[in-house]
């Protein structure tokens, strides 16, 4: 009833090919942006921003990045943790080397550096396919972590081997360091997420996205119809690397503020982001958000319910969390094997027809 194309006539080509062609979708998108940009910043506090919003926003960027590579281009990657580390250490080196430049550009540049590194480790994808490709990215994961731990130049020869984000500002407002305001860090990350999501959405809708999907669906067939696999795969690695690098830079500079590579950017991180996009839905921008929300918000929610409201011992609650998350993943799968995004799509289909299902 509310959600339909009927009566929504397009009179120009531009209107026909806009990002959200259905009116209801468009308004929903405006509403979400309105709430995110103009309401949340005024009500947010330290707990909400540090425990919930920052991880959610940053993981969403990483998930979008990985989804481009895995979901759209079909190249399995288990090196996300390592690539995020490149973003983090790149950002740190830039922050300390050029303190007068705005952190905004440092984050973007860190993304660029990661993009190059990602392409480098993506080169074997031209020869190795499927699960086997994971070995190249796993090699990247372990090698990069080892490298950042081994070479003191990366952590500016500090005795502790940790990197600490110094205070940096955007338009005179602090976004890194301990004295930040909740709304500032939130908005800073939100801006990056919005930019990334817009880029990703439009890339995947256009020629580039179609080439990636052609490669994903069957690379030989794609080659025959004139898709250059080298260009397609490398560009997917580059774009994905950029997003992942940005998320790594934000993760270090804005969210944590201090990072030790092995602990924060270990193999677990790679698996976590991969789980996010699989649970959320491969090949879907919305799925990246949904997956990040599922794996970031659910544990916090469960913890607060089990420990905070029911007063259970913390260790029992933590074990139960695992049990419940595991159980939920399986239940969701049996209900809808293609991730949360597919659930959403099915719901939309239903809404289109409602209330006249025939």
Partner 1 sequence: MKMKLATMALGALMAAGPVMADLVFPDLSYRTGPYAAGGIPFSDGYNDYFTLLNERDGGIGGVKARVIECETGYNTEKGVECYEATKGEGALVYQPLSTGITYQLIPKVTADGIALHTMGYGRTSAANGKVFSNVFNYPANYWNGASLVVNHLLEINGGDLGGKKIALVYHNSAYGKEPIRTLEELSKKHGFDLSLIPVDHPGQEQKSQWLQIRRERPDYVTMWGWGVMNQVAIQEAANIRFPMENFIGVWWSGSENDVLPAGTAANGYKAVTFHNVGSDFPVFDDVQAHVVDKGLAAGAGDQIGTALYNRGFYAAMLAAEAVRTAQEIHGVADINAAMMLDGMEALEITEDRMAELGMPNFGPSFKVSCENHGGPGTGAMAQWDASAKTWSLISDFNASDMEVIQPLIDADSNAYAAENNIATRCN
Partner 2 sequence: MSDQLVFAMEVFLNGLMAGVLYALVALGFVLIYKASGIFNYAQGVMALFSALTLVGIMEGQVPFAHVINATFGTDLHHFGWHVPGFVAILLTMAVMVLLAICVQKFVFRHLVGQEPIILFMATIGLAYFLEGVGDLMWGSEIKKLDVGLPQGINLMIDETTFGWFGYGFFIDNLDIVATIIAALLVTALVIFSQYTKQGRAMRAVADDHQAALSVGISLNFIWVMVWSVAGFVALVAGIMWGTKSGVQFSLSLIALKALPVLMLGGFTSIPGAIVGGLIIGVGEKLFEFAIGPMVGGATENWFAYVLALIFLVFRPQGLFGEKIIERV
Under the rule (CB under 8 A), what is the footprint of partner 2?
124, 127-129, 131-132, 134-136, 138-139, 142-143, 145-146, 150, 218, 220-221, 224, 267, 275, 278-279, 282, 312-313, 315-316, 319-330, 333-334, 337-338
Distance of closest approach, residue 325 Cβ to partner 1, in angstroms: 13
Contact of residue 88 among partner 1, partner 2, none (CB under 5-8 Å per partner type): none
**C-beta of 14 vs 310, nearer to partner 1:** 310
Residue in 227, 238, 248, 228 with CA at minimum distance from that of residue 88:
248
**C-beta of 3 vs 142, nearer to partner 2:** 142
Ramachandran category for residue 227: left, alpha or beta (phi over 0 → left; psi -120 to 50 → alpha): beta
Contact of residue 47 among partner 2, partner 1, none (CB under 5-8 Å per partner type): partner 1
Count of residues that bind partner 1 according to CB under 8 A? 43
Q: Does 260 bind partner 1 (CB under 8 A)?
A: yes
**Which of the ranges 201-209, 221-229, 306-314, 337-345 carries the binding residues for partner 1, by CB under 8 A?**
306-314
Q: Does 172 bind partner 1 (CB under 8 A)?
A: no
The three-state secondary structure class of 60 is: helix
Residue in 276, 217, 212, 214 with CA at minimum distance from that of residue 244:
276
Contact of residue 344 among partner 1, partner 2, none (CB under 5-8 Å per partner type): none
Contact of residue 6 among partner 1, partner 2, none (CB under 5-8 Å per partner type): none
- Buried b / exposed e over 206-236, threshold 16 CB at 10 Å, is eebbebbbbbbeebeebeeeebebeebbbbb
Rounded Cα distance between 32 and 40, Å, is 10
Binds partner 1 by CB under 8 A, chosen from 23, 104, 257, 324: 257
Q: Does 325 bind partner 1 (CB under 8 A)?
A: no
Rounded Cα distance between 149 and 282, Å, is 33
Rounded Cα distance between 277 and 63, Å, is 6
Binds partner 1 by CB under 8 A, chosen from 31, 258, 330, 346: 258
Rounded Cα distance between 355 and 213, Å, is 34
Q: Does 169 bind partner 1 (CB under 8 A)?
A: no
Q: Does 97 bind partner 1 (CB under 8 A)?
A: no
Contact of residue 68 among partner 2, partner 1, none (CB under 5-8 Å per partner type): none
Residue in 223, 167, 196 with CA at minimum distance from that of residue 289:
196
**C-beta of 14 vs 335, nearer to partner 2:** 335
Q: Does 253 bind partner 1 (CB under 8 A)?
A: no
Ramachandran category for residue 207: left, alpha or beta (phi over 0 → left; psi -120 to 50 → alpha): alpha
Taking residues 232 to 251 in sequence order and writing x for each that binds partner 1 by CB under 8 A, - otherwise, the string is --------------------
Residue with tokens 């069957």: 218
Residue 330 sits at φ, ψ, to 5 deg, of -65, -40
Contact of residue 135 among partner 2, partner 1, none (CB under 5-8 Å per partner type): partner 2
- By residue count, the chain amounts to 358
Contact of residue 311 among partner 2, partner 1, none (CB under 5-8 Å per partner type): partner 1
Tokens of 70: 């895995």
């Amino acid at each position: 009833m509310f959600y339909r194309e009927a009566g929504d006539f397009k009179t120009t080509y531009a209107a026909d090919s806009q990002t959200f062609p259905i009116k209801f979708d468009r308004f929903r998108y405006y509403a979400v942006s309105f709430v995110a940009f103009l309401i949340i910043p005024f009500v947010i506090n330290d707990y909400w921003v540090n425990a919930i919003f920052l991880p959610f926003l940053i993981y969403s960027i990483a998930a979008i990045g990985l989804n481009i590579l895995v979901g759209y281009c079909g190249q399995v990657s288990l090196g996300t943790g390592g690539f995020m580390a490149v973003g983090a250490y790149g950002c740190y080196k830039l922050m300390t080397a050029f303190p007068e430049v705005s952190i905004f550009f440092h984050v973007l540049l860190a993304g660029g550096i990661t993009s190059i590194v990602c392409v480098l480790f993506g080169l074997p994808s031209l020869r190795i396919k499927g699960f086997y490709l994971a070995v190249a990215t796993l090699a990247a994961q372990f090698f990069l972590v080892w490298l950042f731990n081994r070479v003191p130049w990366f952590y500016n020869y500090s005795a502790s081997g940790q990197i600490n984000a110094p205070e940096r500002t955007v338009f005179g407002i602090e976004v890194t360091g301990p004295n930040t305001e909740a709304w500032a860090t939130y908005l800073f990350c939100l801006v990056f997420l919005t930019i990334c999501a817009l880029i990703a959405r439009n890339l995947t809708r256009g020629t580039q996205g179609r080439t990636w999907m052609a490669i994903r669906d069957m690379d030989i067939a794609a080659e025959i119809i004139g898709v250059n696999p080298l260009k397609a795969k490398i560009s997917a690695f580059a774009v994905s690397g950029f997003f992942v690098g940005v998320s790594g830079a934000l993760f270090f500079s804005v969210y944590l503020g201090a990072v030790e590579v092995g602990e924060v950017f270990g193999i677990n991180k790679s698996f976590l982001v991969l789980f996010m996009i699989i649970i959320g839905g491969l090949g879907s921008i919305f799925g990246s958000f949904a997956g990040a929300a599922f794996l970031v918000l659910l544990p916090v929610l469960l913890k607060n319910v089990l420990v905070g409201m029911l007063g259970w011992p913390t260790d029992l609650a933590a074990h139960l969390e695992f049990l419940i998350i595991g159980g939920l993943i399986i239940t969701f799968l049996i209900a809808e094997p293609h991730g949360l995004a597919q659930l959403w799509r099915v719901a939309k289909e239903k809404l289109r027809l409602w209330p006249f299902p025939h």
